[in-house]
Amino acid sequence: MDTIGPRGLQQREGALGCPQEGLPSPSESSELVQECLQQFKVTEAQLRQIQASLLGSMEQALSGKASPAPAVRMLPTYVGSIPHGTEQGDFLVLELGASGASLRVLWVTLMGVEGHKTEPRSQEFVIPQEVMLGPGQQLFDFAARCLSEFLDALPVGKQGLQLGFSFSFPCHQTGLDKSTLISWTKGFKCSGVEGQDVVQLLRDAIQRQGTYSIDVVAVVNDTVGTMMGCDLGVGPCEVGLVVDTGTNACYMEEARHVAVLGEDRGRVCISVEWGSFSDDEALGPVWTIFDRTLDQESLNPGAQRFLAILQETVMLLAPECDVSFIPSVDGGGQGVAMVTAVAARLAAHRRLLEETLAPFWLTREQLVALQRQMREAMAKGLQGKPSSLRMLPTYVRAIPDGSERGDFLALDLGGTNFRVLLVRLASGGVQITNQIYSIPEYVAQGSGEQLFDHIVDCIVDFQQKQGLSGHSLPLGFTFSFPCRQLGLDQGILLNWTKGFSASDCEGQDVVYLLREAIKRRQAVKLNVVAIVNDTVGTMMSCGYENPHCEVGLIVGTGTNACYMEELRNVASVPGDSGHMCINMEWGAFGDDGSLGMLSTYFDERVDQASINPGRQRFEKMISGMYLGEIVRHILLHLTSRGVLFRGQQIQCLQTRDIFKTKFLSQIESDSLALRQVRAILEDLGLPLTSDDALMVLEVCQAVSRRAAQLCGAGVAAVVEKIRENRGLEKLTVSVGVDGTLYKLHPHFSRLVEETVQELAPCCEVTFLQSKDGSGKGAALVTAVACRLAQMTRV
């Protein structure tokens, strides 16, 4: 007869009892053995080819592409998190299908990483043959009776028990607690179960039993249980591997890569189902004649080939990955209990997170009420009545008409850095040259004389560098602090903000203080024509390009708005015709307590810790200077409740202003994967898990969304005021906007615009981003003033 030799080589065998011709000598036998064994040696190139093929099949299956059929299934298990060591409590586990014709019930007590480890209690029940082959209801009723019998022997209550269900049969899982049986295996053939949700069948049986109140939290396969049940002592385990009578793997995948989920954030455990890998002949180059013979004689020829050639080659093929293999002691029991515990932890943390963030999710009714309150405060402020909105006249009576020409200086003071600019207006457009100067903290918080002397020194330095020494150019002064203007070139500082506290300035005319500093510096010629708020400058800058621009908005370190009001409505300025730009100083809106219904515990904490408690309440809920602090206080609260960072106090969270506006803009970017969000947070010194990163992201989203909605409600109040002033059914108006939060945050501008559209449907509002409102705008205010003065002289 013929036998199979190396690579299919045929050898002849003689008749029984007869000498066999060609019988190999001992040396030839050794060569033959070596030739056979040689087939099982796999080169590094072949392994890398297999690695690439498997990776390609994984990516194809994750993407949802059905053709050609992927060689691995990549099934989402809906396990969204791994243990982080704080899981505690008592959990039931029911194992069905893991050990043939029996089921096992376990009672697992988790004590956390630091707690005393206890051995799970378990009991195995033999499933009668008639139950394995009978109606499905009979099987699940049997399981429910086993659960009750097991629990009867334990000193436990009858309510609030949480169960993890290990169901080791082919299933299509659509949720952590939803799994449809595809087909029975392992000798089971219960009717009425295939195509049904096995979790629901178990729940129905438990309810029929009626003895215990048991919540089936999760359904899990053994591979996931292996990953979840590994010892946390060496670090987080994110891959599960089973190599026994069969083989499979699972791992934590970015949810955005799993097409069937339709999620952009978070992670999910994927069951690779890699036993079937190479059904497409991807392993052909290393497939021996012995493998082919074994395959043909198996129950499922052509399937599950990978388990026959699995090799430990991780270090060779992935040298950049530091991988530890941790034997699972009881993946089925401990692991399933851990899945249940993690799900319970996440559910509890989710409830606490939603409770914490609920006040930040504003309803339409709340926004409409805010809009109405702002309209009322605007009317009172214009009439000179007590109001949290100062509604200050700026004495800017017109927007640019495009005919402005000439050279102008501009001084932009609104923070610890300020600019000096040379703005040239010509028929060909606007040319701007500028230089940034810093204001040391000791100057910003020193004397007023010291502050304005420093400013003039910087202007002189700029003039010298631009070859303008001795020239007297008109100068517009952008002064981004609350002022009461008595004229275009007269502005009384009401109070410092943004960390400034220079003495002898509040209550004084800042233009006068600047002019006095100019006098102290001999041989300096400067003609201060106008003092301008940065918000007004923004409106004027955009108005030079768009004649419909009649509103200015700043949303950056601080926030403010201005708009063109009918002069007849401004009680503090004589005249009934024409317009007047009103500086709302809306950062102070709500300082009279009217924002109490929207203010949260975290807003109060930020306000009390600020340099001006009780003031600028609207600004503290909107601007970039404060949003990061609101986020920080929320994170501190969630940490104290054990929701974040395993409940451990993180030192860097105690640091004020750790979260800058740039951070909020970065972390909420749609283009970032969760691992990149996590990297940004880790750079700040936060030792967090992926779950933590996702929650921090949600906190940032809630805080910035509320800020944008509040801002939008304010803009809606302004444009509705303009529309009603003019008796129009439909108003077309543009809003000039500046500020880093509005410009750089990935969603802020859209949310503002959506809110305005919803609250002011009769206004067609266009938002224009200013390229240099506080600089070019100040020059344009000066240029318009010069143009109007020239017209008056003529």
- Residue-wise pLDDT for 704-718, tens only, equals 999 999 999 999 999
pLDDT for position 700: 94
At residue 46, the 3 state secondary structure works out as: helix
C-alpha 770 chain-centroid distance: 28
The reply to whether omega before 68 is within 30° of 0 (cis) is yes
What is the DSSP code (8-state) at residue 135? B
Residue count of the chain, please give it.
794
Question: Residue 456 carries which side chain, given as an amino acid letter?
Answer: V
- N-terminal to C-terminal alpha carbon distance within the chain: 123
Burial of 288 (0-12, 13-18, 19+ CB in 10 A): middle
Check: CB of residue 699 under 8 Å from CB of residue 357.
yes
419 noted as active-site residue: yes
**Residue among 589, 616, 637, 686 nearest 359 (CA):** 637
pLDDT for position 11: 45
| Other beta carbons less than 10 A from residue 51's beta carbon | 15
Question: Residue 743 carries which side chain, given as an amino acid letter?
Answer: K
CA angle 454, 456, 460 (to 5 degrees): 120
**pLDDT profile of the chain (794 residues), mean per 10:** 38 43 66 71 79 88 78 88 85 86 90 68 93 96 96 89 90 91 88 96 95 92 86 76 79 90 85 73 63 59 46 62 68 80 89 97 98 98 95 90 85 87 86 92 94 94 90 87 89 89 95 93 84 90 90 94 96 89 95 94 95 94 94 95 86 86 83 77 82 90 97 98 97 95 94 98 96 81 81 60
Element (H, E) at 452: helix 448-465
Beta strands per DSSP E along 372-444: 392-393, 406-413, 417-426, 429-438
HEC profile for 140-178?
A: HHHHHHHHHHHHHCCCCCCCCEEEEEEECCCEEEEECCE
At residue 545, the 3 state secondary structure works out as: coil
Instruction: Tell me the C-alpha distance between 662 and 664, whole Å.
Output: 6
**Beta bridge partner(s), residue 552:** 562, 736
| Other beta carbons less than 10 A from residue 666's beta carbon | 17
Q: Name, in order, each residue with C-beta under 8 angstroms of 300's C-beta and a sequence gap of 6 or more.
A: none
pLDDT for position 301: 58
**Catalytic residue among 168, 276, 480, 610, which?**
480
Structure token digits, residue 319 = 């040298």
**Catalytic residue among 265, 305, 419, 705, which?**
419
690 noted as active-site residue: no
Q: DSSP string covering 567-604, please?
A: GGG-TTS--SSSEEEEE--GGGTTTTTTTTTT--HHHH
Instruction: Tell me the C-alpha distance between 336 and 221, whole Å.
Output: 8
C-alpha 317 chain-centroid distance: 33
The CATH number of 84-231+328-352 is: 3.30.420.40
Which pTM value belongs to this model? 0.79
**Beta bridge partner(s), residue 4:** 10
Which residue ranges does the chain devote to CATH 3.30.420.40?
A: 84-231+328-352
**Catalytic residue among 141, 177, 534, 591, which?**
534
**Residue among 269, 418, 349 nearest 86 (CA):** 349
387 noted as active-site residue: no
Q: Where are the alpha helices (DSSP H) in 659-771?
A: 661-667, 674-683, 690-725, 740-744, 748-759
CA distances from 87 to 43, 66, 355, 647, 721 (A): 44, 39, 21, 12, 56
